[in-house]
Structure 1
Amino acid sequence: MAIHTLLIYNLLMGLTMGSLNCPTGKSNPLQFHLVRQCQRASADDPLALENTSSLQDCVNLAHEMRGLALNYAPGGAKRRKNIYDERSFGKESQKQQHIRSRLSVFEQPGEFFNCHVLQCPQNNTFSGMVNDSRFDYYSLYGRPTVLQNYSCLPEVGLFVVYTQPSAYLNASLTCSNSSEYTGSLAHIASEYRTNSLAQWLLEFNRKTKPQGEETNVFLAYVGLAYNSSTSLSPLDFRNSQQESLQCFLYRAWDAGHPRHGQELTNASCVALTSQGTWQTLNCDRELPFICEIHTARPTSTWEHSDSELDIGPNAVFECKGNDND
């Protein structure tokens, strides 16, 4: 009888969690995409510098450190030397040798580490890339977005703040229908994300704005809302992927919140404050909002795929075909 009861309980819990649409690692894999061959991104402030035995080990380290991009040197006879380095041709001057000798191993990571885990991906100009035939560059975002005014929150993701106030539905459509990126209203259901985005708003407010631009953003719509037609309970707020807040442990409700959907006639939408708390508001209220740029979709393999390589400004062409051994 006890076993029978336990089976029923487990079945009901499974149905409940399924209806909450909780995320799993299998349903939301984060995949690093090969973006540039024979180049590496600047690693001035890396999350990790290691020597790994394989690309997969480097990828695993990047996942562990919450890196958004990485450089990896695959090794092999064809990738052992940097053909762009003057030392390879004996052209390095004595002054250059002296400068190099005074640098620590962490100031010249390309010489000592084959795996560089990076806080942020390169932007659309690739201005921080270094020609280095030993390395390839990978990013969770694949080819860079053409968007100019996005911001990277290290270890979190890429975001855009819209200061022109909008109702919640229009804000959500702006994020999801953008022609410049694939995205949605920002996901905030973790302490790190909430605090990082709140700090970002504070820093955004401190920056000098162009004339005519809204000065400060103290309250901004994010991807969390209750709707009586889809939510299972008064506390079943859903994000832009329709995942229930009940799937996550973290809460940051401001005093007096959340106000349930019944109090706001069918729906209540969530805004982030610059103090790192959440408030529920009538969805018709017009506010600034934060969009999150999605990572690139997974492919059948994250190994080399010429169709995904970026061939934009400053790409290296003469190194193409410099395959691994």
Structure 2
Amino acid sequence: MSLSYYTFIILLPLSLLSGLSNCSLNCPTEKSHPLQFHLVRQCQRASADNALALESTSSLEECANLTRELRGLAFNYAPGGPKRHNNLFDLKFFRNETQKQKHMRSQLTAFEQPGEFFNCHVLQCPQNHSFSGMINDSRFDYYSLYGRPTVVRNYTCLPEVGLFVVYTTPAAYLNASLTCSNSTEFTGSLAHIASESRTSFLAQWLLQFNRKQLGRPEPEPNVFLAYVGLAYNRSTSLSPMDFRNSHQESLQCFLYRAWDTGHPRLGQEQANASCVALTSQGTWQTLSCDRELPFICEIHTAKPTTGWEHDDAELDIGPNAVFECDNN
């Protein structure tokens, strides 16, 4: 099972890894975390109001590659063909369209009606469990890295990064990790943070959460520290700086660091301060794994399948799905 998305792995120079092999560090590769988009809805497209890109591509694979390049989490694609040339859902509307409505539609720009001009819409985030942003359009299909939306309702999408669930009820590090990995609502783990975008986005979420508590009749406690997926383990770590994420990938595989002043605690202090928490200022602190804190889970992407032609396992027929559309 792959991480959420776009870890953006940059391996350190070999000179800094002397004596440590990639195998022992368990550094991630494209093969270890394959990213595949899954067909989720047929004859529907998600709203493209905040799309990362609107393009015309020659194939489904080209659209998927563009989405990966731009760090999109989902996309709409119109495959074309005789029976996908017109939007069947609009035919009745157009037959009854008034002259005024035709004139108003003619004034719209191409970017205000992307379904008419672009067959590939790169999206920042996938649809949530309700599919409230879907538009019936027989020309398009909707694809997502996450397959069918998770049943959990309070997850957060960080655009171009991934999906996360923040638990504000404090727990020790082990219990926090088990909550993420054993959830019945999603497949996940404590959040991976070894990139600037992940650390800054998640820290900003904590700041926004704290601001929302101001003025509430029964505010929740502010969150200044939250466990993430990074810890030192004497039995698996190869050096004092060899902190590992939830997939046992070493921090030494990545260039990014955000240690707070005085952290990480090393030497004799490390035994009692070997787990990592994210601060609302966007820094990392090491502290006792027994300390109870809020924590951040990351939702993993859907499991890869053998190819587009076999990718119907994530097809969704839930709320607002289309059943009458002819895809042949």
The Cα of 1:67 is off from its aligned counterpart by: 0.3
> Which of 119, 130, 135 is equivalent to 2:135?
130
Distance, in Å, in 1 between the alignment partners of 2:323 and 2:267 is 56
Would the aligned equivalents of 2:79 and 2:140 in 1 still touch at CA under 8 Å? yes
The Cα of 1:260 is off from its aligned counterpart by: 2.6
Would the aligned equivalents of 1:31 and 1:298 in 2 still touch at CA under 8 Å? yes
Structure 1 residues 305, 29: CA separation in 2 closer, same or farther (over 3 Å shift)? closer
Count of aligned residue pairs for this structure pair: 313
Would the aligned equivalents of 2:231 and 2:274 in 1 still touch at CA under 8 Å? yes
Following superposition of structure 1 onto structure 2, how do residues 264-283 of structure 1 map, counting pairs within 5 Å? Answer: 264-265=270-271, 268-283=274-289
Q: Which has the higher contact order (CA 8 A, sep 6+)?
A: 2
Q: Which residue of 2 aligns with 1:42?
A: 47
Would the aligned equivalents of 1:34 and 1:304 in 2 still touch at CA under 8 Å? no
Distance, in Å, in 1 between the alignment partners of 2:213 and 2:130 is 23
Q: Which residue of 1 aligns with 2:164?
A: 159
Would the aligned equivalents of 2:272 and 2:289 in 1 still touch at CA under 8 Å? no
Would the aligned equivalents of 1:38 and 1:131 in 2 still touch at CA under 8 Å? yes
CA deviations on 1:129-148 (whole Å, 9 max, x unpaired) are 00000000000000111111
> Which of 236, 240, 257 is equivalent to 2:242?
236
Distance, in Å, in 2 between the alignment partners of 1:114 and 1:46 is 13
Would the aligned equivalents of 2:156 and 2:163 in 1 still touch at CA under 8 Å? yes
Q: Which residue of 1 aligns with 2:22?
A: 17
Q: Which residue of 2 aligns with 1:203?
A: 208
Letter paired with 2:57: T
1:222 correspondence with 2:195: no
Distance, in Å, in 1 between the alignment partners of 2:96 and 2:230 is 58
Would the aligned equivalents of 1:261 and 1:267 in 2 still touch at CA under 8 Å? no
The Cα of 1:27 is off from its aligned counterpart by: 1.4
The Cα of 1:204 is off from its aligned counterpart by: 1.7
TM-score by length of 2: 0.91
Distance, in Å, in 2 between the alignment partners of 1:231 and 1:84 is 58
What 5-or-longer segments of structure 2 have no aligned partner?
1-13
CA deviations on 1:248-301 (whole Å, 9 max, x unpaired) are 000000000011374142660000011110000110011000000000010111
Would the aligned equivalents of 1:70 and 1:138 in 2 still touch at CA under 8 Å? yes
Distance, in Å, in 1 between the alignment partners of 2:287 and 2:102 is 62
The Cα of 1:306 is off from its aligned counterpart by: 3.3
User: Which range moves more in the overlay, 76-85 or 299-308?
Assistant: 299-308
Q: Which residue of 2 aligns with 1:308?
A: 314
> Which of 293, 296, 311 is equivalent to 2:299?
293
Secondary structure at the aligned position of 1:152 is classed as strand
> Which of 269, 272, 283 is equivalent to 1:263?
269
The Cα of 1:202 is off from its aligned counterpart by: 1.1
Distance, in Å, in 1 between the alignment partners of 2:318 and 2:217 is 32
Structure 1 residues 287, 214: CA separation in 2 closer, same or farther (over 3 Å shift)? same
Distance, in Å, in 1 between the alignment partners of 2:67 and 2:196 is 20
TM-score by length of 1: 0.91
Distance, in Å, in 2 between the alignment partners of 1:86 and 1:248 is 53
Letter paired with 2:47: S
Q: Percent identity?
A: 78
Distance, in Å, in 2 between the alignment partners of 1:272 and 1:99 is 50
